[in-house]
Amino acid sequence: MRVGILGATGYSGAVLFSLLKQHPQVTEIDLYGHEGQSTARRLLADEIPAFSNAALPIVPFVPQDIMATTDCLFCATPAGITKNLMEPFIAQNFPVIDLSGDYRLKDPTQYEKWYHKKAAPSHLLKEAAYGLSEFLTHPGHYIANPGCYATATLLGLAPLALKKLIEPTSIIVDAKSGISGAGKKLSATSHYTFINENACLYKINEHQHIPEIMQQLQQWNAAIPAIQFTTTLIPITRGIMVTIYAKAAAGLTATQIQAAYAQVYAQSPFVRLRNHGFPTIQDVKGSNYCDIGYNYNPKTNTITVVATIDNLLKGAAGQAVQNFNKLSGFTETAGLPELPSFP
């Protein structure tokens, strides 16, 4: 297949390019620049010296040309870009996998509240499928790839929410991310002198991934009204660790919790369960895995769940390729690393 990438020079876009470059079913990759970028001829290697052997041009974004020459388009742009560009693709049912947040939320007022930007029209939002891969049964033609925090949080909570094993009002999420989760653009909190040997809480209960988490949780269990969600920036390059606390439903046992996770993820090649102990970020770095561990304390009636992912892979580009495989009818694991990077 011939595929296109809009926005290959950011962190997620670069990882996406490297995955697709090695995908057994991808024969050619075209790269496009988005609005606000220079129209001068650029090469990917000029933007990312590490890709010096990939002298591919970044060409202007022309929807009709893209649909005429490629089989699928990936969008790895910041929020606020694709909402203005995707209508021609949606109108033609052209396959698109969008890594931005522009099409994740079905309610445009929620997007405007959390992203502080004007939303895409409602009739376009309805055409997008929320692409949490392990639960994506009907991909359609437009897949809205989940956010990184949302991916780890939802995978950690899914069995508890689906099986109604927790008190709906008791969910507390403590999420920690490496600095690459903030994107390539420099900010005050991404300076080395700020984040080195430091940790920084930010966007407490205000993170833009919260509404997509709630949108999905309420599809699984409408009784869940809200979550307490704390995000912390930690001094590592990549990786997310989400620690979830929730009160167990009456009469629940540790055996029932274990059975719920085993059943929900029995056919999920990229979810690895720990029946004893908890995963670390290093366990998943460089992979498309989500590792999950859990514990039940009967004295406090509290379930603790830890989910770890690589934010640039399972939290972005890796899940996009996983969704591409599902959309195209390929083996779900095609083009994705079989093992994390170690040591």
Same topology, domains 2-126 and 149-311? Answer is no
- What does the pLDDT read at residue 215? 98
Band of pLDDT at residue 224, cut at 50, 70 and 90:
very high
- What does the pLDDT read at residue 34? 77
What is d(CA 339, CA 333) in angstroms, rounded to the nearest whole number? 12
Chain segment 50-79, per-residue pLDDT in tens: 999 988 999 999 999 999 999 999 999 999
- Maximum distance among all Cα pairs of the chain, rounded to whole angstroms: 65
Position 244 pLDDT exceeds 70: yes
CATH superfamily, domain 2-126, is NAD(P)-binding Rossmann-like Domain (3.40.50.720)
Position 39 pLDDT exceeds 70: no
Position 37 pLDDT exceeds 90: no
- What does the pLDDT read at residue 38? 55
What does the domain layout of the chain look like in residue ranges? Answer: 2-126, 149-311
- What does the pLDDT read at residue 40? 59
- Could you give the C-alpha distances from 160 to 29, 106, 149, 246, 303, in angstroms and in order? 40, 24, 18, 9, 9
- What does the pLDDT read at residue 183? 80
- What does the pLDDT read at residue 35? 62
- What does the pLDDT read at residue 218? 98
Q: What is the dihedral of CA 272, 168, 112, 13, to 10 degrees?
A: 0
What is d(CA 336, CA 329) in angstroms, rounded to the nearest whole number? 15
Residue 148: active-site member: yes
- What does the pLDDT read at residue 184? 78
Global pTM reads 0.96
Least confident of 18-27, 109-118, 192-201, 311-320: 192-201
Q: What is the average pLDDT score of the chain? A: 95
- Region 192-207: mean pLDDT is 94
Main-chain phi, psi angles of 304, to 5 degrees: -115, 130
What is d(CA 189, CA 10) in angstroms, rounded to the nearest whole number? 18
| Of 36 and 220, the one with more pLDDT | 220
Instruction: Please pick, among 72, 75, 148, 290, the residue that the annotation labels catalytic.
Output: 148
- What does the pLDDT read at residue 142? 98
- Region 170-176: mean pLDDT is 98
CATH code matching the domain that covers 149-311, chosen among 3.80.10.10, 3.90.1150.10, 3.30.565.10, 3.30.360.10: 3.30.360.10
